[in-house]
Amino acid sequence: MWRWATSSRSPPFSRVLLPVLALLVGAGAARAGVFLSVDEALGLAFPGCRIDHRTVYLTRDELARARELAEGPVPSALVHPYVATCGGRPGGIAYFDTHRVRTLPETLMVVVSPDGAVARLEVLAFQEPPDYKPRGAWYAQFLHRKLGSELELKRGIRPVTGATLTARATTAAVRRVLALDRVIRERSASPGSTGAGPREGPP
């Protein structure tokens, strides 16, 4: 038996998502590299929807499964999905991923649709020099993609001249989010699951 650990939209999500909050608030003089707050990004993705913040604790096996699917590191067993309900129907799940590009961080919001595809990708903050940030059209190529062999640089995702590290870090982040989302969905669909969500407490 396991449950969602859930909180409502009040207080603001940015108070809950501490790593992202630290980046966005702590940017200070680098404010030019911050484009959206957590609340603003969620509002763009899910206008007029109910959004529940949930905390998921992966087991060791689930974490290993996520790393296998991502084909790369998944640094934590603690996951914070933001689950949207729009007009009484599932509206998608948003995940926030903060990662290093070269020496400084980028924070992305990846929204996953109910069928497991990327529904929206937003750059909340980018602290590297602006020349390292690709244009919006490059990020748009992730839309509607699912986790698979084509979600790789030089395959389904084209590289960016002069921003190779950003392209690599962003692709890895999207794969990581989709891998975590799949593991969470697999848990919900497993025999004996109540369907209510992951349990509270560490594994």
- For residue range 45-75, what is the model confidence (pLDDT) as tens digits? 999 999 999 999 999 999 999 999 999 999 9
| pLDDT for position 42 | 97
Enter the pTM of the model.
Answer: 0.82
The helices-and-strands tally (H runs, E runs) of the chain is 5, 7
Spatial contact of 74 and 200, defined as CB atoms under 8 Å apart: no
pLDDT in tens, 176-202: 999 999 999 999 887 765 443 444 444
Spatial contact of 118 and 145, defined as CB atoms under 8 Å apart: yes
Domain ranges of the chain: 5-189
Please give the residue that has the higher pLDDT: either 97 or 5: 97
Phi and psi for 158 in degrees, rounded to 5? -80, 145
| pLDDT for position 31 | 53
From the number of C-beta atoms within 10 Å of its C-beta (0-12, 13-18, 19+), residue 127 rates as buried
**What SS3 string covers 44-93?**
HHCCCCEEEEEEEECCHHHHHHHHHHHCCCCCCCEECCEEEEECCEEEEE
| pLDDT for position 193 | 57
Confidence band (pLDDT; 50, 70, 90) for 162?
confident
pLDDT in tens, 11-54: 344 443 444 444 444 434 345 599 999 999 999 999 999 999 99
| pLDDT for position 188 | 82
From the number of C-beta atoms within 10 Å of its C-beta (0-12, 13-18, 19+), residue 5 rates as middle
